[in-house]
């Protein structure tokens, strides 16, 4: 579903992402881990077509982000770190607008919006103005916006940041449901970034750990925590080792 | 380009739920009313003065088109220098400040969808302003007999100037994330454009070619003929070129976000 091929991004002299490759299959939920500034957001932005890679390319649902950018973008639902909301719009008109620019056919507009609101628990908020919603509900609108066109791939940048524990639990459950849906619903492939380790343990089956722009770990969660190691230890060890190497070189 | 309508529609709605649109519209209407009354009264005084002086020759030269409508429309284009930047300042700047730019650029839209959508939203507003302005000369038709075609030509000039200002405002808004900066920037560009004929008169470089070019570049030059009722393709082409040029610049500016 997602294939990153030697993705790199340079800003002048600084390399934000260096030669990152990975593949994610249908229905997988992958946790993107790493300290701040490791290149998680930049990698995600390249996958969504917001930033062009300096080098390398990526395939989203078999569409090359350079060769067929419109089809690739159509296949992605993206929740950026800062929620892309128009505060003056109501939840429903906002989601209808997003559905329209995501190429949802006119006939299916209403039902797509209803379905997205239902999955994100927004049925009673349809007429509320987004600017007046609480942080938790705004986060849900952000998530509804990402799934309104029923994309094959979901890319979520820190989906639970700023939420209270109860809301975090709800959003995590929602993400799990999106990857293993009931009959008749689309199975989404999910990449989510976070630096909250328990979050990865709660929803992801596979972990990609980034540090200083490089991919340092890419393994199923079970394998990583085998032998009693905690994700915490792995995170600290891998990112620290990278620091030592960087200083040595 | 099938999404131009979605973008424009959202933008127009957004303008009408914010106070900006209402402030601009009502201020514009008030200023228009004030200027219109001032021009009509000035006209009235001249008529009375010429009558008292028994200057029938001058009296016969006075007419509503030259001495009220043309002056009124011209002064309204000066008001557009302020009104249009206020309407266009948020078009792209707010998008960046909201973080919604990321939504637009990761959607299956082309950059032209976004740029043209924004431009048309502004264009709809300019047409609204044109309607307000047009209502005042329309009053004169009830009490006098101005030439309708000349009046329409003048209004066309006002709308074309407005559309050019929108294209410039859209461009300025695409350069920054601050609405205030966008306002000042577009006002600065418009003001320079407005002053170009005066600059050409100074003839600083001493080259006739440059003077002609500066005069051609200014909206004022082309507006004058339209106000006189001369709808020349040369002028229509000028406005088309200006609008296209600034929209192409806007496209490049929006696209550059991706390449930074």
Chain B interface, mutation test: which of A9, A50, A83, most B Cβ atoms within 10 Å? A50
Contact (CB<8Å) B108/A89:
no
Indicate the residue of B10, B17, B258 with minimum beta-carbon distance to A97: B10
Q: Say if residues B170 and B250 touch (Cβ distance below 8 Å).
A: yes
Closest chain A residue by Cα to residue B19: A88
pLDDT, mean over chain A: 88
State whether CATH 3.30.450.20 applies to domain A25-75+152-249: no
Domain parsing of chain A, residue ranges: 25-75+152-249, 80-150
Q: Which of A48, A53, A3, A50 is nearest to A213 (CA)?
A: A53
Indicate the residue of B3, B99, B109 with minimum beta-carbon distance to A82: B99
Residue B76 resides in a domain: yes
Place of tokens 């190497």: A245
Paired tokens of A54: 């300096």
Overall number of domains in chain B: 1
Q: Say if residues A77 and A149 touch (Cβ distance below 8 Å).
A: yes
- Chain A residues touching B6 at Cβ < 8 A: 97, 100-101
Q: Which of B70, B89, B76 is nearest to B29 (CA)?
A: B76
Contact (CB<8Å) A100/B100:
no
Instruction: Decide if pLDDT at B181 tops 70.
Output: yes
For the segment A186-227, what is each residue's pLDDT rounded down to a tens digit?
778 999 998 788 888 888 889 999 988 899 888 888 888 777
So what's the ipTM on this one? 0.89
Indicate the residue of A52, A73, A85 with minimum beta-carbon distance to B100: A85
Distances (CA, A) of A173 to A80, A165, B27, B127, B218: 19, 12, 52, 50, 61
Q: Which of A221, A190, A182 is nearest to A47 (CA)?
A: A190
Chain A interface, mutation test: which of B102, B104, B121, B254, most A Cβ atoms within 10 Å? B102
Residue B260 resides in a domain: no
- Chain A residues touching B113 at Cβ < 8 A: 101
For the segment B103-162, what is each residue's pLDDT rounded down to a tens digit?
999 999 999 999 999 999 999 999 999 999 999 999 888 888 888 899 999 999 999 999
Contact (CB<8Å) B258/A97:
no
Residue B178 resides in a domain: yes
Residue B114 resides in a domain: yes
Indicate the residue of B17, B108, B110 with minimum beta-carbon distance to A103: B108
Contact (CB<8Å) A101/B3:
yes
Total length of chain B: 260
Contact (CB<8Å) A74/B14:
no
Tell me how close the Cα of B186 comes to any Cα of chain A, in angstroms: 24
H-run or E-run covering B69: none
Residue B145 resides in a domain: yes
Domain that residue B120 falls in: 4-255
For the segment A68-122, what is each residue's pLDDT rounded down to a tens digit?
999 999 999 999 989 999 999 999 999 999 999 999 999 999 999 999 999 888 9
Contact (CB<8Å) A76/B103:
no
């Amino acid at each position: 579903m997602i294939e990153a091929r030697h993705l790199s991004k340079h800003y002048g002299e600084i390399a934000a992402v260096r030669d990152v490759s990975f593949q994610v299959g249908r229905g997988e939920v992958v946790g993107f881990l790493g300290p701040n500034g490791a290149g998680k957001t930049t990698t995600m932005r390249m996958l969504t077509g917001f930033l062009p890679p300096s080098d390398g390319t990526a395939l989203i649902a078999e569409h090359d982000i350079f060769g067929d950018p419109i089809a690739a973008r159509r296949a992605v639902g993206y929740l950026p770190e800062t929620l892309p909301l128009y505060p003056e719009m109501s939840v429903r008109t906002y989601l209808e607008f997003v559905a329209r620019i995501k190429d949802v056919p006119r006939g299916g507009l209403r039902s797509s919006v209803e379905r997205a609101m239902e999955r994100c628990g927004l049925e009673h908020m349809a007429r509320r103005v987004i600017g007046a919603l609480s942080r938790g509900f705004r986060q849900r609108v952000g998530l509804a916006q990402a799934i309104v066109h029923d994309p094959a791939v979901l890319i979520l940048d820190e989906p639970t940041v700023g939420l209270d524990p109860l809301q975090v639990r709800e959003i995590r459950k929602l993400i799990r449901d999106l990857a293993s849906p009931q009959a008749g619903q689309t199975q989404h492939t999910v990449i989510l970034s976070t630096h909250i380790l328990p979050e990865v343990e709660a929803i992801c089956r596979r972990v990609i750990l980034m540090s200083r722009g490089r991919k340092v770990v890419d393994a199923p969660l079970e394998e990583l925590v085998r032998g009693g190691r905690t994700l915490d230890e792995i995170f600290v060890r891998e990112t620290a080792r990278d620091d030592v190497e960087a200083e040595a070189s | 380009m099938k999404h131009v309508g979605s973008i424009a529609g959202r933008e127009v709605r957004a303008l009408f739920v914010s106070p900006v649109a209402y402030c601009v519209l009502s201020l514009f209407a008030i200023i228009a009313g004030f200027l219109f009354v001032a021009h009509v009264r000035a006209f009235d005084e001249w008529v009375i003065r010429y009558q008292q002086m028994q200057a029938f020759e001058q009296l016969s030269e006075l007419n509503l088109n030259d001495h009220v409508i043309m002056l009124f429309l011209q002064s309204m284009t000066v008001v557009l220098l302020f009104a249009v930047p206020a309407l266009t300042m948020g078009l792209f700047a707010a998008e960046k400040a909201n973080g919604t730019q990321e939504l637009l650029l990761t959607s299956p839209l082309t950059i032209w969808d976004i740029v043209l959508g924004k431009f048309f939203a502004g264009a709809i507003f300019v047409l609204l302003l044109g309607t307000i302005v047009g209502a005042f000369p329309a009053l004169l038709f009830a009490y006098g007999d101005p030439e309708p075609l000349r009046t329409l030509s003048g209004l066309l000039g006002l709308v074309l100037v407005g559309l050019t200002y929108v294209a410039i405002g859209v461009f300025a808004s695409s350069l920054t994330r601050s609405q205030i900066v966008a306002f000042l920037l577009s006002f600065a560009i418009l003001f320079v454009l407005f002053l170009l004929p005066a600059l050409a008169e100074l003839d600083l470089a001493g080259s006739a070619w440059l003077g002609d070019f500066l005069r051609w570049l200014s909206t004022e030059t082309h507006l004058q003929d339209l106000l006189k009722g001369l709808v020349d393709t040369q002028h229509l082409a000028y406005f088309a070129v200006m609008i296209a040029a600034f929209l192409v610049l806007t496209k490049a500016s929006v696209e550059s976000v991706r390449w930074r």
